[in-house]
């Protein structure tokens, strides 16, 4: 398959921006391919998405084929108008509506009761719910509108690989596997959307996947609710100590059971079950019990020296001032602890850099888990084959 490539300039200066003739022609061609049941990659404010008509099982199956993704992982459906929501879900409670009013368009997906037959069962992975969001990106919104259908879109990377924040990342993973790529430049946030599920009474907001909307932002939008960290992996779901979830603004004694520890665990959100975001080399995440950056740096350098002597091509993912002092084959700075938004924007491109330079053994500094740092650490944990906490 030949993958078409369209470059669209200045796509996100305003949600109602009018595209020039060349860009409008590219958008129309991409929308036409979606209407024909093809798969097209496009930028959002988070990462690039791999889009197909959410109503068509044949189209959605092409997403799974292109990604090499297991079919029991649900997809997020993207819409461009609130009116489209009624066609997809059975209803929303007051807390959910308040969150949409405050945080849409934006990097927030809500898991809601699916209207029977509204989307392909491949989108919902057989569940009675569907995750929906409205992206905060002019090109994404205009593409959805032009296509005239809700768009199912996971990140536009091969399954398990770091998500793409630039069109060239998409082409690396997907050229020859999908119909087209709309290049709208680098994405702004760099991490996927936050995925939540609100309890029927509206009192608890379960964070199934942390992302571009922080727990603080959720509480500002719905102060009467309690935010619960339910971003539990399948392995963690089977451990009794994880069963109540972790409240982000209340005592754990009040938490409802968020995840069922079933033998055949079915995730309710993307990113909950399988290894994700990983470079090709072995990545080890290094913590310190007291977040002592000097101690982390000393341990990392000692470990780099040890494995270099064994013939490994060494790499370091650094979030602080130690980047210039590390001695390794590949040192990739990724912002700092003081600027989580900048670190998030750079993270996936940094992980891909290790592949470009052939690193086989990578040590990553941990990131403080406040605000957006929770999402950064969620991605690093899923990318890591091992985590080490030094005394």
* pLDDT given for residue 234 in this prediction: 40
pLDDT band for 237, please (50, 70, 90 cuts): very low
340 contacts 376 by C-beta, under 8 angstroms: yes
Structure confidence at residue 4 (pLDDT): 97
Q: Is a pLDDT exceeding 50 seen at residue 249?
A: no
* Sheet strands (E) in 257-374: 282-288, 314-318, 330-333, 361-365
Q: What is the DSSP letter of 134?
A: -
Give the model confidence (pLDDT) of 91-138 as tens digits: 999 999 999 999 999 999 999 999 999 999 999 999 999 999 999 999
More confident residue, 12 or 327: 327
Instruction: Compute the C-alpha angle 154/156/157, nearest 5°.
Output: 110
Q: What percent of the chain has pLDDT over 90?
A: 77
Q: Could you tell me the pLDDT band of residue 73, with boundaries at 50, 70 and 90?
A: confident
Q: Does residue 37 register a pLDDT over 70?
A: yes
For residue 55, pLDDT beyond 70: yes
| Length reported for the chain | 391
Give the CA diameter of the chain. Answer: 61
Alpha carbons 343 and 347: distance in angstroms, whole number = 6
Contact status, residue 19 vs residue 7, Cβ threshold 8 Å: no
- Token representation of residue 318: 């650094």
pLDDT grade, residue 20 (50/70/90)?
confident
For residue 231, the model assigns a pLDDT of: 87
Q: Which of 119-133, 251-265, 277-291, 297-311 has the lowest mean pLDDT?
A: 251-265
Q: What confidence tier does 246 reach under pLDDT thresholds 50, 70, 90?
A: low
Whole-number mean pLDDT of the chain? 88
The partner residues of 198 in beta bridges, in order of sequence, read 205
The pLDDT of residue 275 is above 70: no
pLDDT in tens, 164-203: 999 999 999 999 999 999 999 999 999 999 999 999 999 9
Supply the pLDDT for residue 160: 83
Q: pLDDT tens, 357-390?
A: 999 999 999 999 999 999 999 999 999 999 999 9
Nearest Cα neighbor of 132 from 189, 90, 75 is: 75
Overall average pLDDT of the 236-243 stretch = 34
Average of per-residue pLDDT across 38-66: 97
Confidence tier at 235 by pLDDT (50, 70, 90)? very low
């Amino acid at each position: 398959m030949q993958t078409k490539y369209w470059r669209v300039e200045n796509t996100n200066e305003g949600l109602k921006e009018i595209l020039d003739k060349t860009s409008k022609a590219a958008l129309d061609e991409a929308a036409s391919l979606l209407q024909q049941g093809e798969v097209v990659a496009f930028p959002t404010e988070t990462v690039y998405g791999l889009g197909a008509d959410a109503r068509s099982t044949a189209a959605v199956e092409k997403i799974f084929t292109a990604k090499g993704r297991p079919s029991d992982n649900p997809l997020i459906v993207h819409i461009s108008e609130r009116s489209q929501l009624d066609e997809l879900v059975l209803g929303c409670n007051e807390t959910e509506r308040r969150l949409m009013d405050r945080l849409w368009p934006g990097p927030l997906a809500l898991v809601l009761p699916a209207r029977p037959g509204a989307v392909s069962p491949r989108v919902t992975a057989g569940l009675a719910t569907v995750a929906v969001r409205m992206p905060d990106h002019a090109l994404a919104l205009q593409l959805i509108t032009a296509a005239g259908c809700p768009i199912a879109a996971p990140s536009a990377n091969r399954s398990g690989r770091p998500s793409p924040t630039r069109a060239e990342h998409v082409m690396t993973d997907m050229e020859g596997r999908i119909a087209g790529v709309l290049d709208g430049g680098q994405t702004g946030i760099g991490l996927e959307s936050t995925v939540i599920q609100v309890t029927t009474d509206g009192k608890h907001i379960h964070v199934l996947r942390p992302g571009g909307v922080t727990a603080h932002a959720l509480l500002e939008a719905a102060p009467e609710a309690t935010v619960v960290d339910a971003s539990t992996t399948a392995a963690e779901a089977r451990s009794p100590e994880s069963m109540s979830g972790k409240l982000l603004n209340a005592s754990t004694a009040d938490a409802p059971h968020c995840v069922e520890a079933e033998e055949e665990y079915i995730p309710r959100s993307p990113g909950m079950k399988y290894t994700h975001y990983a470079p090709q080399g072995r990545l080890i995440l290094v913590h310190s019990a007291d977040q002592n950056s000097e101690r982390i740096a000393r341990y990392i350098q000692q470990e780099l020296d040890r494995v270099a002597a064994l013939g490994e091509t060494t790499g370091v993912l650094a979030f602080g001032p130690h980047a210039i002092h590390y001695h390794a084959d590949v040192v990739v700075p990724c912002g700092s602890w003081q600027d989580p938004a900048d670190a998030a924007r750079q993270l996936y491109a940094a992980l891909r850099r290790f592949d470009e330079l052939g690193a086989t053994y990578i040590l990553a500094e941990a990131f403080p888990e406040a605000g957006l740092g929770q999402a950064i650490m969620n991605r690093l944990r899923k990318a890591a084959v091992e985590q080490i906490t030094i005394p």
